[in-house]
């Protein structure tokens, strides 16, 4: 595809503009080619290096060149009124946006946080604003204190950051760890406990927070409280610091039989294998996205004969990408997922598409096993259809299909809307969107009402929504082997979204259209809902249910009422009116009375759904 740009611009600027166009459309190889051409013709074009940095192409060189030519940072974006940004590691876990000159100074300083360039780090920090004026600057000073093991300074720098929306969890971890080092265990406990409660289950700091909170509990003599925390750490990373030795010491010293049993199978000499099970099994996976930090020396051995600490490492486990298996890793799970799809009422076109996709994926696995070439499987989808037509349910089933075929590490689904991806201030959106996407790695990210991310109704455009879409596009590409992304919404809205964002249409090429339910399908849904809950409709009620289904479809109301959701609401309210009716009986209702939905129950429920009235007093029935 040719991304041409007309105008009397310099060749380097033209290449940069073509690079931005290609990047926006998701054509990353061509974007890289154009950005490389731009900096080849104009080595001082900082925004050209920004484009390469955004593509994660030799980010170190790109960052250093941007900093060298920082007086030109933003030149092309301002001249051509184009948007382009990247992200960087602030410390070891935080990912702010890289867009402004201030961001560039922070990114440059953070670059030297490797434990081997303290003089360069100090020079970079000296060029930043005062710590009292900027939380992120203070955070970098805290990172330096961590590097040089100045625990008192680490406490001073992290205290003002505890309630910061972006930095609070990491500040709590740093501050709590420093207090443990200073043997201020009582102060460390609430700090670490609060940070752990704020830490979403998928965030990689969780392992370290648990470890240091366990250390704090031990310091206050609460080994029993430390034990489950050490166990949780050990489940996701058996070789993390001295967790195994501390578990063994607690088991031996305090006589915890279950802990001793847990440790019976542990061979301390060869404990480095990955264990990814239990409720926190994802922690190590998300560690693959972080930065490594190795300090030059370790602390002396602690009392009690435990081995020396190696917390000079703040590094993430690297999980090797396994070759694709030659067939379903779990044929029974695949059959179960497809059977659930088949049990859904209606949706015949959707069923055909999902079954065809499953067959294609399965055959691709078999071809791989025979050494035959295969096309990369399609992993990102557009689900287009009215509300209540089963889009979320089918998304869950699709995730199970990918999992059963060994194409995903899990079958979990993360649901999101605009508010879950878009921040409230500049720079927060990239962090928020990346955190949400991280939580879906290994499974399915389902973005409902995705068209709300491209809101043309804003007078000056929707910068935050556009930023979220850019992050989503890039992560969908970067993590394509570990993530399925589904964008869902009404057909008209999805059409507008794809038309306004060529990058989406080029990446999300598989579209599944969900039709509105027809009268017979709506009636069947009502019958299925009742049967699943041990209820039945009597003949009069069932006839009226058919009539209602036909009426709302003929009147064009069904999409507004929510399709299948309308039937669920109608059934649930019918049950409520039945129970209210039976409560006025003088005797004890029979089994049939308790399980039968009758015409008056349905009619009052239908009236409430249409008018918003609630159940009336039994005397009014």
Domain stops at, among 466, 493, 513? 513
Q: How confident is the model at residue 201 (pLDDT cuts 50, 70, 90)?
A: low
Q: What is the pLDDT of residues 236-276, one digit of tens each?
A: 888 889 999 999 888 776 544 444 334 433 323 332 333 22
- Does 2 fall in a domain? no
- CATH number of the domain bearing residue 83: 1.25.40
The predicted pLDDT at position 112 comes to 93
Could you tell me which residues come within 8 angstroms of residue 78 by beta carbon, excluding any fewer than 6 positions away? none
- Same structural domain, 242 and 125: yes
450, 482, 513 - which closes a domain = 513
Q: Which two tokens stand for residue 353?
A: 């598409």
Residue 311 resides in a domain: no
pLDDT of 324 higher than 80: no
List pLDDT tens digits, range 593-607: 999 999 999 999 998
Which of 513, 548, 581 is the last residue in one of the domains? 513
459 pLDDT more than 70: no
The reported pLDDT for the residue numbered 284 is 29
Tell me how far apart the 2 most distant CA atoms of the chain are, in Å: 92
Please check the confidence at residue 124 and state whether its pLDDT lies above 90: yes
Q: Domains in the chain: how many in total?
A: 4
* Per-residue pLDDT, 591: 92
178 and 246, same domain (yes or no): yes
SS3 of the chain: helix, strand, coil, percent, to 5:
60, 5, 35
Q: Which residue has the tokens 């166009």?
A: 21
Q: Do 279 and 424 fall within a single domain?
A: no
Is the predicted pLDDT of residue 293 greater than 50, yes or no? no
Question: Which pLDDT score is estimated for 171?
Answer: 92
Distance CA 363, CA 26 (A): 28
| Confidence (pLDDT) at 254 | 54
Tell me, what CATH number does 438's domain have? 3.40.50.300
Who wins on pLDDT, 529 or 479? 529
Is 571 part of any domain? yes
DSSP secondary structure letters along 137-170: HHHHHHHHHHHTT-HHHHHHHHGGGTT-TTTHHH
Q: Are residues 508 and 450 in the same domain?
A: yes
Identify whether residues 170 and 261 lie together within a single domain. yes
Highest mean pLDDT among 154-168, 328-342, 358-372: 154-168
The tokens 């030149």 sit on which residue?
75
Cβ-in-10-Å burial (0-12, 13-18, 19+) of 267 comes to exposed
pLDDT band at 116 (very low <50, low <70, confident <90, very high): confident
- Do 477 and 363 lie in one domain? The reply is yes
Q: State whether 63 and 189 are in the same domain.
A: no
Instruction: Give the residue ranges of DSSP H helices in 101-134.
Output: 101-111, 118-126
Specify which residues 485 forms β-bridges with: 380, 445
Distance CA 105, CA 113 (A): 14
pLDDT tens digits for range 489-514: 999 889 888 888 777 877 888 899 99
Strand partners of residue 489? 384
SS3 422: coil
3-state secondary structure of 615: coil
CATH number at residue 599: 1.10.8.60
Predicted confidence band of residue 432 (pLDDT cuts 50, 70, 90): confident
For residue 261, what are the contacts with CB-CB under 8 A and spacing of at least 6?
none
Residues 486 and 349 in one domain: yes
Mutual orientation of helices 11-24 and 28-41 as an angle, nearest 10°? 160
pTM value is 0.49
- CA atoms of 138 and 131, how far apart (whole Å): 5
User: What integer is the mean pLDDT of 380-399?
Assistant: 92
Q: Over 90: is that where the pLDDT of 19 sits?
A: yes
Q: Does 123 fall in a domain?
A: yes
Share of the chain above pLDDT 90, in %: 43
Predicted local distance difference test score (pLDDT) of residue 203:
60
360 with 481, same domain: the answer is yes
Report whether 209 contacts 196 (CB < 8 A): yes
Q: Which residues constitute the domain of residue 43?
A: 11-87
The answer to whether residue 361 sits within a structural domain is yes
455: pLDDT confidence band, cut at 50, 70 and 90? low
Same domain, 381 and 260: no
Output the pLDDT for position 329. 61
* Choice among 5-14, 242-251, 478-487 with the minimum mean pLDDT: 5-14
What's the pLDDT score for residue 453?
86
Convert the pLDDT of each residue in 178-194 to its tens digit.
Answer: 999 999 999 999 999 88
Q: Binning pLDDT at 50, 70 and 90, where does residue 301 land?
A: very low
pLDDT of the residue at 279: 34
Confidence of residue 172 (pLDDT cuts 50, 70, 90): very high
Q: What pLDDT does residue 350 have? A: 87
Q: Is residue 203 part of a domain?
A: yes
Residue 6 lies in a domain: no
> Could you tell me if 488 and 537 lie in one domain?
no
At residue 311, the pLDDT reads 42
Contact 483, 445 (CB under 8 A): yes
**Same domain, yes or no: 498 and 610:** no
**pLDDT > 70 in the chain, percent:** 82
Average pLDDT, the chain: 81
203 vs 166, which has greater pLDDT?
Answer: 166
């Amino acid at each position: 595809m040719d991304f041409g740009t007309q105008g009397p611009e310099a060749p380097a600027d033209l290449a940069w503009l073509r690079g931005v166009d290609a990047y926006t459309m998701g054509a990353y190889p061509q974007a890289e080619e154009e950005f490389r051409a731009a900096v080849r013709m104009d080595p001082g074009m900082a925004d050209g290096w920004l484009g390469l940095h955004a593509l994660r192409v030799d980010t170190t060189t790109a960052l250093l060149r941007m900093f060298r030519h920082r007086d030109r940072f933003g030149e092309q974006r301002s001249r051509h009124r184009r948007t382009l940004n990247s992200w960087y590691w602030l410390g070891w876990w935080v990912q702010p946006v890289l867009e402004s000159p201030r961001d560039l100074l922070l990114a440059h300083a953070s670059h030297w946080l490797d434990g081997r360039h303290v003089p360069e780090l100090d020079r970079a920090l000296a060029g930043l604003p005062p710590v009292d004026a900027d939380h992120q600057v203070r955070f970098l000073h805290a990172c330096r204190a961590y590097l040089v093991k100045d625990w008192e300074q680490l406490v001073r720098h992290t205290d003002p950051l505890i309630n910061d929306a972006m930095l609070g969890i990491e500040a709590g971890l740093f501050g709590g760890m420093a207090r443990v080092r200073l043997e201020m265990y009582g102060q460390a406990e609430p700090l670490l406990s609060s940070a752990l409660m704020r830490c979403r289950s998928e965030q990689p700091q969780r392992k370290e927070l648990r470890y240091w909170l366990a250390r704090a509990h031990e310091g206050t003599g609460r080994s029993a409280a430390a034990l489950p925390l050490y166990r949780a750490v050990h489940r996701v990373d058996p070789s993390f610091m001295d967790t195994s030795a501390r578990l063994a010491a607690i088991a031996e010293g305090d006589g915890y039989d279950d802990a001793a049993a847990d440790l019976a199978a542990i061979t301390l000499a060869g404990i480095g294998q990955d264990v990814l099970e239990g409720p926190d099994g994802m922690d190590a996976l998300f560690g693959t996205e972080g930065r490594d930090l190795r300090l030059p020396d370790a602390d002396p051995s602690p009392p009690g004969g435990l081995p020396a600490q190696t917390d000079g490492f703040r590094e993430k486990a690297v999980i090797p990408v396994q070759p694709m298996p030659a067939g379903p890793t779990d044929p029974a799970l695949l059959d179960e997922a497809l059977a659930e799809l088949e049990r859904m009422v209606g949706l015949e076109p959707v069923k055909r598409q999902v079954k065809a996709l499953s067959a294609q994926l399965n055959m691709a696995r078999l071809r791989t096993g025979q050494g035959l070439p295969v096309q990369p499987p399609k992993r990102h989808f557009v689900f287009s259809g009215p509300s209540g037509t089963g889009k979320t349910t089918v998304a869950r089933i699709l995730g199970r299909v990918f999992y059963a075929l060994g194409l995903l590490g899990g079958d979990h689904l993360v649901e999101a809307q605009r508010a879950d991806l878009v921040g409230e201030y500049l720079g927060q959106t990239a962090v928020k969107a990346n955190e949400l996407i991280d939580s879906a790695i290994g499974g399915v990210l389902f973005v409902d009402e995705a068209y709300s991310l491209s809101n043309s109704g804003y007078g000056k455009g929707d910068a935050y929504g556009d930023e979220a879409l850019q992050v989503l596009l890039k992560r969908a590409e970067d993590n394509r082997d570990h993530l399925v992304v589904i964008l869902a919404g009404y057909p008209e809205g999805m059409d507008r979204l794809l038309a306004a964002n060529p990058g989406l249409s080029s990446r999300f090429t598989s579209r599944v259209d969900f039709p509105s339910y027809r009268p017979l399908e709506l009636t069947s849904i009502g019958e299925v809902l009742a049967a699943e809950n041990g209820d039945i409709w009597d003949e009069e009620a069932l006839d009226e249910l058919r009539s209602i289904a036909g009426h709302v479809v003929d009147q064009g109301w069904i999409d507004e009422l929510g399709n299948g959701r309308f039937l669920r609401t109608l059934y649930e309210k019918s049950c409520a009116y039945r129970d209210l009716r039976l409560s006025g009986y003088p005797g004890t209702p029979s089994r049939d009375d308790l399980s039968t939905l009758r015409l008056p129950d349905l009619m009052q429920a239908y009236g409430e759904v249409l008018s918003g009235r609630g159940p009336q007093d039994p005397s009014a029935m």
